[in-house]
Amino acid sequence: MSNDMADAGRGVLTLGPLLFNWSPEKFRDFYFRIADEAPVDSVYIGEVVCSKRAPFFDPVIPDVVERLAAAGKQVIHSTLGLIMVAREMQQIRDLVEGGPDYVIEANDISTVALLAGRPHVIGPAVNVYNEGTLAWLVAQGASRICLPGELPGDSIAVLAAAAGGAEIEVQVFGRLPLANSARCYHARSRGLPKDNCLFACGDDPDGMELKTLDGEPFLTVNGTQTMSHSYCNLVAEMEPMREMGVSHFRLSPHDTDMVAVAHVYRDVLDGRLGVEDADARLAELVPDAPFSNGFYHGVEGSAFVAEQQKAAE
């Protein structure tokens, strides 16, 4: 499934699926600009969080896919992270049966079963925590696996070594998806039932901040999804991961200049930009939330281990 646009030795830059509820026009214009300007090699398209959002985006997806493909991007169709009703399962079946030309990212184990024997991607919502699980998924046809964001670097190294020819992907930018629920927290925060949510999640293009009882920002609510409040930033960890055998580095879309974010990560991968300068540029692009890399370093996920601390270790 390697993309010819990038030399895998340098690292392949990917753009994960949009996790937030934007307007169809904003969605379309965002991906058109990604197609025309962003130095990313693979782009994931599809509703991962809530199937109720999908009908708004479906009319513009063919144009988005066509624009991305014309720009030389590999397009991968992402699926729901939590399938709860027969209608959602049928939507997955329709996508899988749409034709062998579709590359699909499975974010639920039932989707993995439908894709058995066909090359596909495993998304970070599928719990790949050990070599046995990884080997089973590869045997089912998985050719790329995006590991869960909470894995430490030591575990990433073990899994990359055991990949058996499959590509290993890690999210290196953006709020980390932590859990999916049958309940809609956005609707509940507005005093609305889930079935009549009025699409409250659309009010928060980067998710809704959740605070502790002491008033400290802690997590982010995105409809039925719980995310980190901090933005994962593994720009400094990409070179060690590349040495481990990680080949793909995922950026998660946010309501910021993602073209500029992609250029920062591409320049670091290509050796044109140092880590300190990259961190400074990213801080300018994301001024309203802290960065974190704690999971990678085996500490609390919200922590940011600076270069000086890493050197001391």
Dist CA 120 CA 103 (whole Å): 6
Q: Which residues of 258-296 are buried (b: 16+ CB within 10 A; e: fewer)?
A: beebbbbbbbbbeeebeeeebbebbeeebeebebbbbbb
Helix/strand/coil for 89: helix
Domains in the chain, ordered, with CATH? Answer: 12-176+226-312 (3.20.20.110)
Per-residue pLDDT of the chain (313 residues; tens, 9 = 90+): 544 444 556 899 999 999 999 999 999 999 999 999 999 999 999 999 999 999 999 999 999 999 999 999 999 999 999 998 899 999 899 888 886 677 999 999 999 999 999 999 999 999 999 999 999 999 999 999 999 999 999 999 999 999 988 999 999 999 999 998 888 988 888 888 888 888 889 999 999 999 888 988 889 999 999 999 999 999 999 999 999 999 999 999 999 999 999 999 999 999 999 999 999 999 999 998 899 999 999 999 999 998 645 555 5
Q: What is the DSSP string of 253-301?
A: P-SS-HHHHHHHHHHHHTTSS-HHHHHHHHHHH-TTS-EE-TTTTTS-T
Number of H helices, E strands in the chain: 12, 12
Determine the residue type at 111: T
- What pLDDT is stored for residue 313 in this prediction? 53
The closest alpha carbon to 163, from 141, 131, 193, 188, belongs to 131
Tokens 């000086």 correspond to what residue? 308
173, 232 Cβ separation under 8 angstroms = yes
3 state SS of 164: coil
CA distance 74 to 268: 21
Q: What is the pTM of this model?
A: 0.93
State the CB neighbour count (10 A cutoff) for residue 249: 26
The Cα–Cα gap between 147 and 241 comes to 12
Task: Answer yes or no: are the C-beta atoms of 165 and 10 closer than 8 Å.
Answer: no
Residues 6+ apart with CB under 8 A from 93: 114
The contacts of residue 249 (CB under 8 Å, 6+ apart) are 11, 12, 13, 14, 169, 170, 172, 234, 238, 241, 265, 269
How far, in Å, CA of 272 to CA of 286, rounded?
Answer: 21
Residue 127: half-sphere exposure toward Cβ, Cα within 13 Å:
4
